[in-house]
Each structure stands twice: as structure tokens, then as C-alpha cells.
Amino acid sequence: MKKYWAIFKLQLANGLAYPGEFIGRSLMILPFMWIFYQLWRVTFEASASTEINGLTLQHTLWYLVIAEVIELSRPRVANTISDAVKDGSIAHILSKPYSFLGYHYSSSMADTVFRALLNLVLGGGMAWLLVGPPPSLWGFVVVLPLLLGAWALNYCIAALIGLLAFWVEDISAFQWIYQKLAFILGGLLIPLNFYPTWLRTIAEALPFSAMTYAPASLFVSPTLNGFLTAAGLQLLWLLLFVGGLGLLYRRSVTVLTVNGG
Amino acid sequence: MAAITVRGLVKTFQTKRKAAGLGGSLRSLFQPEYATVEAVRGISFEMEPGELLGFIGPNGAGKSTTIKMLTGILHPTAGEAEVLGYCPWRERQKLAHQIGTVFGQRPQLWYHLPALDTFILFGKIYDLSDAETRRRIDLLAEAFEIRDLLETPVRKLSLGQRMRCEVAASLLHRPKLLLLDEPSIGLDVVAKQHIRDAIRTMSREEGVGVLLTSHDAGDLEALCHRVIIVHHGQIVYQDKVSNLKRKFLTRKTVEVRYAGEVRQDFRLEGMRTLKTGRYGVKLEFDTQQTPADAVLARLSAAGTLVDITISDPPLEEVIARIYESAATEVG
């Protein structure tokens, strides 16, 4: 574990080498939150009620803060793996005594934690100004473990897509599909509470909701039952994806050809 | 026990073929065509512990592919290999503890951070104590003359400085074997010399074996005991560097300068005039055809000698001749 912790810390230091770039990218959450606020304020005004399907404007905006934090800071490991295969730098990772997937998990989580903190401060600060404080302080207790689960799931899926680079030259189509599915079925733009029942049932049965909807909705309305269900669901999906990732990795390394000799 | 044993190693892979232009792109969408590339075609050799072995060949000869199989990065299509008692591709992580690697064209140092950060990280990765890591950094900083460079971000180092740090980092955990893939690529003469000196010193002092690939014969001459020459994925020559020189360095160049003006015809069987001047001459001869003493006798008879230089042709030339003869045999 010591080596993975060291990789995590060094990647964190690497991120700090260019703080401007990280902060600049995190500023994106400000216009997002402003647009969401305007959109949902008009929607709530039009419905002439303070609550739609159990969510107030304050709930909705804080839900969106957490959903955006998860999305904007998720481990972007698909491109990292794909680039390492294409430019041959994978040789260095594979010639060291650590697990390839463990190395990428540690280094991508460093970026994730860094981005998440910045996005939470900026996005949360803006939401606080617009609709007031988070609905419940318990939300922070509940959301932390669920965030780790969400990112682990995100990592597994992104790494699965990244490993496809061992076979195909360009993985961007797979990334595009995954991102759009995560947007729609994860409840990134609209909380699943507002979906028709049939679509919500489908979405809740898929891993995307365990990554975005579950942590974000429990942040605004924390319950022990809800937390246990979400954590159980994340664990189930994780077991499935970790198994799949392990299998695909073992297959991938046997077909690797390193570009440039 | 040999440090490396390789038997019948083969690596083939498929590459997509596509005709030029939009038509070609469309055709390859529906009817993709693949070509099989045989990068390594049945290589077998052994390397003794502590040996300095050069793996020389032109671009695309299969050198890097072989070294990547020996580090466990690539899985071979066929054949067997044992490196320090491990099968590289089945026991990659165990083997990684015992070897150091440098892939000249791909940096392992973290680009935006000082090299010292990567050294400390490697200490953790190879399970060294903090005190041992510090001791090793100290020793390597001295051997590779990098003490003043360690705290500079790697991106700000020159290529020669970076390569010295790269090789030093690969030795941090006291590996038994160093696998260097093109360690001198792109370096100027002085930087090459620096790297070679440091590798030679560390190999001698720590008993570390070195397998290096290069297409620079200078690396071979300066560092290696033995050489394996590969061409088109096959070994075309393997022997001690001294034997290679003896067998193939029979062509000598001799340059003489006289005290006074000379007007002589130096023609002798097996001797070729390269350059003539009023006070001297430059000739080439083959020791197998013309004994050196006959050449010297002829030259000294022509006048009073004030200077004489006899030199071997560059090793590049020798290796080029071996490639050519191998290509003729293969072709």
C-alpha cells in the first residue's frame, strides 16, 4: 500500500506544479451552477410550488453541486491508458514492481481529490450564495464514502474503456457513449426524481445512478436506509466491474504491442 | 546460472494496412486488411551475471522488442526466456524488483517535478528504507555527477543531463541487471561519454550486468564485453567485442609524415592510397593481404619519417559490413 500512497502523493504534487490550469478548469463549475440556478428557478416559479417530487430549489441546486463535483472530478484514466499504449510510455509502468491498474488508480485519484476539493469550494460557495447552506450537515457524512465508491466505479469503467486501446486505435467513441449514458441515466443534468417512473426504474437499476444520483440525492436528503442501499449497490457494481477489469487486463497485456519498437 | 537465457524467442504482431486517400480509408472500414510483422524471429542467447552485453542492430531489427519481452512488458508469440530465474511475462513484478530499465526515448522521471521526487518515489516502490534511499541517492549523485541537477524540474534539464538522471534512477534499488534500451540516443559526444563512464563504473563496483541495445557502435566499443548483432529479427553475429575487432578490423589506415618532400609511388599489393601530399601520404591496407611490417618497411624506405598513425576503421563500418553480408545471406 505504501507505494500506491507514494504515487498518490507525488501525483498530487505534480498537479500543484501547474495550479493555474487546475483552478482555471475548476472555474467551469461557476457558469454551470449559474445556468442551473436560472433554469430551476424559472421551473419552480412556473410550477407555482416550492417543492417538485420532494425536492425544493435549495435541494435541487445542492444536488447539482454534488453531481457536478462527481462528474468534473471523475478519474480521467481512459485517455491516460490509451495515450500510454499509443506513445509507448506504458513500458515504464510495466517495468516497475507495482500493479498497472493500482498505479493508475493511485495517480488518477490524486487528480480527482484535487479537482473535487476545488469544485466543491467553488460550486458549493456559489450555491450557498444563491440558495443558502446545504440542507443537512449529515449530508457530508453520508456523501464522503459514497463519493469514494462513485469514483472507484468511474475508475473501473474508464479503465475498461482505456484498455480497449490495446485492440482499437481510437477509444474516443466509447468514451463519448459512456459520458452520454452517465449524463442521462446518472441524473447529472436532471435529478432522477423528475424522470417518468419507467425511466427512473431503468436508471436506478444501472451503475450510472450509483455513481451520480445516489450520492447527490443522499447529500440533500440523508437517510440511513438510503445510504445502506446506495453503498450496497455500489459494492455490487464494484465487484462486477473489478472482476471484469481484472479479466480484461490479463487478456490485454498478452496482446500489447508497443509502438516505436 | 546464467542471468539471461533465451530460447527461440519469437514475436509477431498484426498491423492494419490501408491504401492512401479517402477511398483507401473507406475500403479499410469494410474490408480491413492486416499484415503480419515478424519483429523477432527465433532469437536464442545467454548472458552471464555481471556481463556487459551489447545488442546492436539497425532500426527495426527487433532489439527493443526483445528487451521488452525480457522485462515482461511484451508477451512473446513463441519461445522461452528466463531472466534472473524468472519468466519475465509470467512473473513481471517479482522480476521488476531485480532489474533496472531505461527506455531512452521514453522518460521514466516525472516530467514536471525535480528528479529527486522520482528517486524518492522509486525508493518507496522498491521497498527501500528512507535511510537507504538517501544513501543510494548520495552515491548515485556522485557517480553520475547529478547532485546539482536533482532539485531542478526534469523538463528544464538538457537531454544529456536527463539521461544521466534516468540511468541513475534505474540503479537506485541495486538491481542485478540493467536493461538499457538506446541509452545514448540523441546525445552529443560528451554526454555519451559521461553516461558510458558512469555505467561502466557502476557495473564494475556493484557487479550489475548490463544488456544494452543501441544502434551506436561507440556504445559497444566503450562498454561491452560481448556483442550480439541482430538484423531482421534474427541474430546474425555474436562474439566477444575483442574477437569482432580481430576478425573484422583487418583493414587499417596508416598516415605518415616525412621530414622532406617525397615523390614516391607507394603502390603495393593490398594497399590503397587515400590521400597524397608533398610531405606525407594516407594509405589503407588489409593485414590479411599485406603484412604490416612490409607496409612500414616500404614507407620508411621512402624518406625520414617524423610521424606515423595507424588506426582501425570505425566500428560502424565493420558492423555495416556484417549487416550487408547478413542481408545477402537472408535475401
Name which of B80, B95, B97 is nearest B9 in CA terms: B80
Which residues of chain A are under the pLDDT cut of 70?
258-261
Cβ(A252)–Cβ(A102) below 8 Å: no
Give dist(CA B121, CA A3) in Å, integer.
8
Q: Give me the interface pTM, i.e. the ipTM.
A: 0.85
Name which of A62, A21, A1, A29 is nearest B112 in CA terms: A21
The residue assigned the cell 475508475 is: A155
Give dist(CA B299, CA B311) in Å, integer.
16
Residue A214 C-alpha, separation from nearest chain B C-alpha, in angstroms:
36
For residue A235, tell me if it sits in a domain: yes
The domain containing residue A72 runs over which residues?
2-255
Domain count, chain A: 1
* Structural Rg of chain B based on CA atoms: 25
For the stretch A153-168, pLDDT in tens is 999 999 999 999 888 8
User: Within the 55-94 window of chain A, which residues sit less than 8 Å (CB to CB) from chain B?
Assistant: 87-92, 94
* Pairing of the two strands B78-83 and B4-17: antiparallel
Q: Does A256 touch chain B (CB under 8 A)?
A: yes
How confident is the prediction along chain B (331 residues), in pLDDT tens digits per residue? 899 999 999 999 877 777 777 777 777 777 777 788 889 999 999 999 999 999 988 778 888 899 999 999 999 999 999 999 999 999 999 999 999 999 877 889 998 899 999 999 999 999 999 999 999 999 999 999 999 999 999 999 999 899 999 999 999 999 999 999 888 888 888 888 888 999 999 999 999 999 998 877 778 878 898 999 888 899 988 989 888 877 777 778 889 999 888 776 776 677 888 888 888 888 888 887 888 888 888 888 888 889 998 887 766 677 777 777 766 655 4
Please give the C-alpha separations between residue B191 and each of A16, B182, B219, in angstroms, as whole numbers.
32, 14, 12
Contact B101 A95 (CB under 8 A): yes
For residue A36, tell me if it sits in a domain: yes
Q: Does A1 touch chain B (CB under 8 A)?
A: no
Residue A169 C-alpha, separation from nearest chain B C-alpha, in angstroms:
10
The set of residues, in sequence order, having a beta carbon less than 8 Å from that of A170 and lying 6+ positions away, is: none
For residue A229, tell me if it sits in a domain: yes
When scoring B108, B122, B156 by the number of chain A Cβ atoms within 10 A, the one with the most, hence best to mutate, is B108
The residue assigned the cell 527501500 is: B128
Task: Read off the C-alpha cell for B23.
Answer: 477511398
Residue A39 C-alpha, separation from nearest chain B C-alpha, in angstroms:
41
Residue A12 C-alpha, separation from nearest chain B C-alpha, in angstroms:
11
Q: Chain B residues with CB inside 8 Å of A260's CB?
A: 64, 105
For residue A39, tell me if it sits in a domain: yes
Contact B106 A7 (CB under 8 A): no
Q: What is the pLDDT of residue B331?
A: 46
> pTM for this structure?
0.84
Task: Please count the CA atoms within 13 angstroms of the CA of B62 that sit on its side-chain side.
Answer: 25
Question: Helices (DSSP H) in B86-235: which residue ranges?
Answer: 92-96, 115-125, 130-143, 159-170, 189-206, 217-223
Q: Chain A residues with CB inside 8 Å of B120's CB?
A: 6
Name which of B185, B3, B110, B62 is nearest A93 in CA terms: B110
For residue A260, tell me if it sits in a domain: no
For residue A168, tell me if it sits in a domain: yes
The set of residues, in sequence order, having a beta carbon less than 8 Å from that of A94 and lying 6+ positions away, is: A100, A253, B71, B72, B73, B92
For the stretch B128-144, pLDDT in tens is 999 999 999 999 999 99
For residue A15, tell me if it sits in a domain: yes
Q: Give buried/exposed letters for B281-295 (b at 16+ CB in 10 A, else e).
A: bebebeeeebeeeeb
Domains and CATH numbers, chain B: 4-11+46-246 (3.40.50.300), 250-311 (3.30.70.250)
Mean pLDDT of chain B: 87
Give dist(CA B244, CA B135) in Å, integer.
40
